């Protein structure tokens, strides 16, 4: 799936990590919560993680742990 990201969010935990107040060994992406529009789907992709139908131009919210990068 290709997603056109419209908005990204920095959560409270990320602010603490950024300030060095919350030690972490896990690397990640700041702004990992996002909302976007589906630009294209690979052949055979018809639903999201919850099993809901998915099509081009749908607006969805997700976080980076759900993605293969």
Q: CB atoms < 10 A from the CB of 29, how many?
A: 14
Residue 17 burial (C-beta neighbours within 10 Å; 0-12, 13-18, 19+): middle
Which is more confidently placed, 15 or 63? 15
Tell me: the pLDDT tens digits for 23-69?
877 666 777 788 999 999 999 999 988 899 999 999 998 876 666 65
- Residue 12: which domain range? 2-66
Alpha carbons within 13 angstroms on the beta-carbon side of residue 21 total 7
pTM over 0.85: no
Number of domains in the chain: 1
């Amino acid at each position: 799936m290709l997603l056109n990201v419209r908005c990204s969010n920095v959560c409270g935990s990320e602010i603490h990590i950024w300030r060095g107040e919350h030690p972490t060994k896990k690397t990640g992406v700041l702004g990992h919560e996002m909302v976007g529009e589906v630009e294209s789907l690979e052949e055979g992709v018809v639903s999201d993680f919850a099993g809901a139908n998915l099509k081009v131009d749908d607006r969805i919210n997700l976080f980076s742990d759900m993605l293969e990068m």
